[in-house]
Amino acid sequence: MKKALITGITGQDGSYLAEFLIEKGYEVHGIIRRASTFNTDRIDHLYNDPHIHGTKLFLHYGDLADGVQMVKLLYALKPDEIYHLGAQSHVRVSFDVPEYTGDVTGLGTLRILEAIREVGLDNKCRFYQASSSEMFGLVHEVPQTETTPFHPRSPYGCAKVYAYWLTVNYRESYGLHATNGILFNHESPRRGETFVTRKITRAATRIKMGLQEKLYLGNLDAQRDWGYAKEYVEAMWLMLQQDKGDDYVMATNETHSVREFVQETFALLDLDWEEYVDYDQRYERPAEVDLLIGDASKAKRQLDWEPKVRFKELVKIMVDADLVIAKQELAYQQAINA
């Protein structure tokens, strides 16, 4: 049985990837952070008591800021594959906490790569780095490919560029099977609620149910290449099944503005978006990434991977899921007011 270690297992992608790997027969280990409230909502349905025979998911405390713990975990687990998804992943927040973002999102990758070497797993373990289309930043070329130059526009983007090149460097220096998945935005009903797509579908469905009056957003003109997270985690696995580490763009090759996402969401709910959406400057970024559209033809050619869920279907998946939650919220409110 293959053993995988996932950092960021409690996040959107980590939860889908854990599901996918367990389904494939892997023993899955995940690193979680200690918090004063529960932070494992997205993976609770996968978790069994570790004393039960046949359990496939094991959780360990750790933090990307803690290199010693990383070494200890790798000594103990000796995984075949490491999917490094953990990060301070919010672009706007990275302007508020740039040093922390550099430490966790940038140096966090270094800590894992060095732990792999320290434990002597260079020839055994395959490494996946969650690289990002945010590295392209200022538009130099469309669509963006594996050879498009990087010009990051945020502390987050800069940290990801550092981590990207470390991954390439450890491949070239030490022969490590190390891969960058350069993933464009991917969303789902499990997307964090402060990212724009989920913020929109949560708000619009709550407005529909009479639970909220307004939705405040920043720049509606930014364009993104939005795919479906569940499909993108399969691509991560495929990348690590190749003979050699490499770098791959994952994208839909379609782009839409934030405004279009708003329009599509409100239209599905028979609402006129202009009545409900207001501008709030605080959601603007000091420097914006205006246009992302990816060309994933290398992934199609080498991995036989291509996304199936397109923009309208993605919006519908998210609206349908959030409508269920909004209805539950309304029922709960009515019950406590009764």
Active site residues: 132, 134, 156
Build a one-symbol-per-residue string for 113-152: x at contacts with ligand NDP by CB under 6 A, - elsewhere.
-----------------x-x--------------------
Name which position in 192, 267, 283, 298 contacts ligand NDP (CB under 6 A).
Answer: 192
Least distance between ligand NDP and beta carbon 75 (Å): 18
List all residues 6 or more positions away from 213 whose beta carbon is below 8 Å from its beta carbon.
207, 276
| Helix or strand (DSSP H, E) at 278 | strand 277-279
List all residues 6 or more positions away from 184 whose beta carbon is below 8 Å from its beta carbon.
133, 224, 225, 226, 227, 249, 250, 251, 252, 292, 293, 294
Identify which of 51, 55, 67 has the alpha carbon closest to the alpha carbon of residue 29: 55
Strand 81-84 vs strand 3-7: parallel, antiparallel, or unpaired? parallel
Distance CA(184)–CA(298), nearest Å, equals 14
Using CB distances below 5 to 8 A depending on partner kind, what does residue 11 bind out of ligand NDP, ligand GDR, none? Answer: ligand NDP
User: Can residue 97 be called a binding residue for ligand GDR (CB under 6 A)?
Assistant: no
Whether 59 contacts 9, CB under 8 Å: yes
Build a one-symbol-per-residue string for 244-283: x at contacts with ligand GDR by CB under 6 A, - elsewhere.
--------------x------------------------x
Name which position in 186, 206, 208, 230 contacts ligand NDP (CB under 6 A).
Answer: 186
Whether 142 contacts 89, CB under 8 Å: no
Distance CA(99)–CA(103), nearest Å, equals 6
String of DSSP letters for 151-165 = ---SHHHHHHHHHHH
Using CB distances below 5 to 8 A depending on partner kind, what does residue 155 bind out of ligand NDP, ligand GDR, none? Answer: none
Build a one-symbol-per-residue string for 33-72: x at contacts with ligand NDP by CB under 6 A, - elsewhere.
x-----x-----------------------xxx-------
The residue ranges that bind ligand GDR (CB under 6 A) are 89, 91-92, 132-134, 184-185, 194-197, 199, 217-219, 222, 224, 258, 283, 285, 288
The residue ranges that bind ligand NDP (CB under 6 A) are 7-8, 10-14, 31, 33, 39, 63-65, 85-89, 104, 130, 132, 183, 185-186, 192
